[in-house]
Chains A and B, each alone.
Chain A
Amino acid sequence: MKIVVCVKQVPETTEVKINPETNTLVREGVASIINPFDMYAVEEAIRIKEKLGGTVTVLSMGPPQAAESLRELIGMGADDAILLSDRAFAGSDTLATAHALAKGIAKIGEVGLILCGKQAIDGDTAQVGPEIAENLGIPHLTYVKKVNEIAADHLIAERMNEEGYERVQIPLPALITVVKEINEPRLPSLKGMMRAKKAVITTWTAAMIDADPAKIGLKGSPTWVKRIFIPELKCQGQVFEGTPEEQVQALVDAIVGRKIV
């Protein structure tokens, strides 16, 4: 089976700074990594390939330097890596990102399964996966914690919700987004690292994937970020004083007095 894993390059930290003059994120001096949730998606894809045969392609949209982190995934066992990179993609929101990635997947052709992480640790929206599936007209499952069964034409998986999980069957081709409970990603093997060093990372531009210019980049993004700001923490509360017994008593009085419990 042909499997595609969508991986996003994200800043290594979530402790962000804002340039007060331009009101934009300061990206300089922050190293990039593959979105941690996407590592679980890559691992799961490799496991499925080991079971069913086929290929694993990692696909990313981002600036040219994203190519280097894709190499690491070839070291883990991905067969090839494709980077969608073009100035025309800049400023894409989730809808525009999903359009570009879906076009990339369509160009790869005959893909049986697509995996995404649960969400990216920077944008945090968890929207790109389901939006790719909708663009391709295929079904999707989110928050998958286990793939129970997979064959050429269907997949059975456990998807998490607030109360537990559901075991669901969907026909392939389909897209799933995975949570960290699903597996423990492997480290790159020595052989893999050798292969990764020599691997050619394919780059596709917007024109090469036949992306609709009206559906990518800033122009193709219905959402606009109007303002970004660092949240204020709530003001300092009350720290009780006295012996542990006195402190506990004061706390219990404060809570019981409010008739919450």
Chain B
Amino acid sequence: REQEITIDKTLYRGVWVFAEQRQGKLANVAFELLGEGRKLADQLGEPLVALLLGKEVAGIAQQLIAQGADKVLLAEAPELESFLEDPYAQVIVDLARQERPNIILMGATATGRSLAPKVAARLGTGLTADCTGLEVDVAEKNLLQTRPAFGGNLMATILCPNHRPQMATVRPKVFKPLPAASARTGEVVSVDLSHNVWDVRAKILEVVNEVGPAVNLEEANIIVSGGRGLCDPKNFALVEELAETLGAAVGASRAAVDAGWVPYSHQVGQTGKTVGPKVYFACGIHGAIQHMAGMQSSDIIIAINKNPDAPIFKIATFGIVGDVLEILPLLNKEFKKALGK
């Protein structure tokens, strides 16, 4: 598609990364964005800037520099203590209007996917959702944003050639953080919010943590998931036992969730969670495209299925053709032995 380019791209500089934090703890995706953002910023010859919003979060700014940021824009205010769309969008939009970044990246988390469209709409710019690949066209200073659509059946590469900033949300666990280098230096710039007229319409009444950090699927290093192949709700315990041995989170296919064997919060896939652990065990899971959409970026995929033609074997790193009811107890025993438990 041809379109006349009407903006002066030289006016926009800098790759910005939204440093998502909750209660003073940075989300892993913030480090992943810095790792990828560093690469893009170096190619473009532009600075990498982390946006850190919160209440009394100055203490964690240095972590962002250690993980790749040249500069941290630090916005601290009581209004920013917990994530709310209105005040967060207000601060980011004001900064973007003043500083004119070329690119703004946010994690495709519940927070990022609610905040980014609000910011993009207010800035009147484009937003690419849930990217799994980012590259730059250095000559045009354009970001090539690749993302899955149609539940992962299709990939699209999206450009935003005529608007700035170029905005994208990025799927967690796809990109790798840089190793932390405490010797790295950078500047921390406090944003003056003392004259801000706050726009806060929502009020958080209660925060409920249903999953402890250990079973937070999106952040888990290892996930053991079970599907309909477990045949019976009580067999799901085999999945839970292996997870326990490995310190892993428990996931499930939709069939297992719909059967009522495990709550929806454990569902992996297009209509569940998107995960990318180091190791993903698919036990008695067929490998429907909607399931694979949520787990195919895992580093190592282990499939256990009695049907050698199950599509899950196509993406598996390691496969065992066999009965999960027999294999899982054996695996549990052998892992316990290997780990000295």
What B residues does A255 contact at CB under 8 A?
Answer: 279, 300, 302, 318, 335
Total residues of chain B contacting the partner, CB 8 A: 95
What is the 8 Å Cβ interface bit string for chain B, positions 6-46, against chain A (1 contact, 0 not)? 00000000000000001000000000000000000000000
**B89-115 CB contacts (< 8 Å) to partner A:** 89, 109-111, 113-114
| Cα distance A233–B313 in the bound complex, in angstroms | 11
Main secondary structure of the interface of B (DSSP, over half): mixed
Residue A170 is within 8 A (CB to CB) of chain B in the complex? yes
What A residues does B300 contact at CB under 8 A?
Answer: 255, 258, 260
Contact partner of B330 among A139, A161, A223, A248, CB < 8 A? A248
| Cα distance A134–B209 in the bound complex, in angstroms | 29
Residue B216 is within 8 A (CB to CB) of chain A in the complex? yes
Let me know if B202 and A95 touch, CB within 8 A. no
Let me know if B322 and A247 touch, CB within 8 A. yes
What is the 8 Å Cβ interface bit string for chain A, positions 123-138, against chain B (1 contact, 0 not)? 1111111110111000
Stretch at the interface among A53-61, A75-83, A198-206, A234-242: A234-242
Residue B47 is within 8 A (CB to CB) of chain A in the complex? no
Total residues of chain A contacting the partner, CB 8 A: 77
Contact partner of A260 among B163, B211, B216, B279, CB < 8 A? B279
Let me know if A124 and B208 touch, CB within 8 A. no
Let me know if B129 and A224 touch, CB within 8 A. no
Contact partner of A95 among B124, B271, B318, CB < 8 A? B124
**B60-94 CB contacts (< 8 Å) to partner A:** 82, 85-86, 89
Let me know if A238 and B318 touch, CB within 8 A. yes
Let me know if A249 and B334 touch, CB within 8 A. yes
Let me know if A228 and B155 touch, CB within 8 A. yes
Stretch at the interface among A41-49, A140-148, A188-196: A140-148
What A residues does B117 contact at CB under 8 A?
Answer: 94, 126-131, 134
Let me know if A226 and B130 touch, CB within 8 A. no
B206 to chain A, nearest CB (A): 4
| Cα distance A171–B1 in the bound complex, in angstroms | 42
A24 to chain B, nearest CB (A): 11
B193 to chain A, nearest CB (A): 20
Given A239-B321, A248-B327 in contact, is the A162-B216 Cβ separation under 8 Å? yes
Let me know if A127 and B129 touch, CB within 8 A. yes
Let me know if B318 and A162 touch, CB within 8 A. no
Stretch at the interface among B146-154, B176-184, B230-238: B146-154
A257: nearest residue on chain B (CB-CB)?
B338
Given A95-B126, A165-B210 in contact, is the A239-B314 Cβ separation under 8 Å? no
Chain B CB within 10 Å, residue with most, of A93, A126, A141, A222: A222
| Cα distance A94–B120 in the bound complex, in angstroms | 10
What B residues does A98 contact at CB under 8 A?
Answer: 121
A-B contact count (CB 8 A): 257
| Cα distance A222–B130 in the bound complex, in angstroms | 17
A127: nearest residue on chain B (CB-CB)?
B117
Given A93-B126, A160-B110 in contact, is the A261-B203 Cβ separation under 8 Å? no
A224 to chain B, nearest CB (A): 5
A238: nearest residue on chain B (CB-CB)?
B318
Let me know if B157 and A227 touch, CB within 8 A. yes
What A residues does B339 contact at CB under 8 A?
Answer: 256, 261
Contact partner of A124 among B89, B129, B162, CB < 8 A? B129
| Cα distance A234–B312 in the bound complex, in angstroms | 11
What B residues does A236 contact at CB under 8 A?
Answer: 313-314
Residue B118 is within 8 A (CB to CB) of chain A in the complex? yes
**B193-211 CB contacts (< 8 Å) to partner A:** 201-211
What A residues does B264 contact at CB under 8 A?
Answer: 180-181
Binding site for A on B (CB under 8 A): 1, 3, 22, 82, 85-86, 89, 109-111, 113-114, 116-118, 120-122, 124-130, 144, 148-163, 201-211, 213, 216-219, 221-222, 246-247, 264, 270-271, 273, 278-279, 289-290, 292, 296, 300-302, 308, 313-323, 326-327, 330-331, 334-335, 338-339
A-B contact pairs, 23 of them (CB 8 A): A15-B150, A93-B126, A98-B121, A124-B148, A140-B118, A142-B113, A158-B208, A162-B110, A163-B216, A166-B204, A168-B202, A224-B159, A224-B161, A228-B156, A229-B155, A230-B154, A230-B155, A231-B152, A239-B321, A244-B320, A252-B331, A261-B246, A261-B335
Binding site for B on A (CB under 8 A): 14-16, 18, 25, 93-95, 98, 121-131, 133-135, 139-143, 156, 158-171, 180-181, 218, 221-231, 233-234, 236-240, 244-245, 247-249, 251-252, 254-256, 258, 260-261
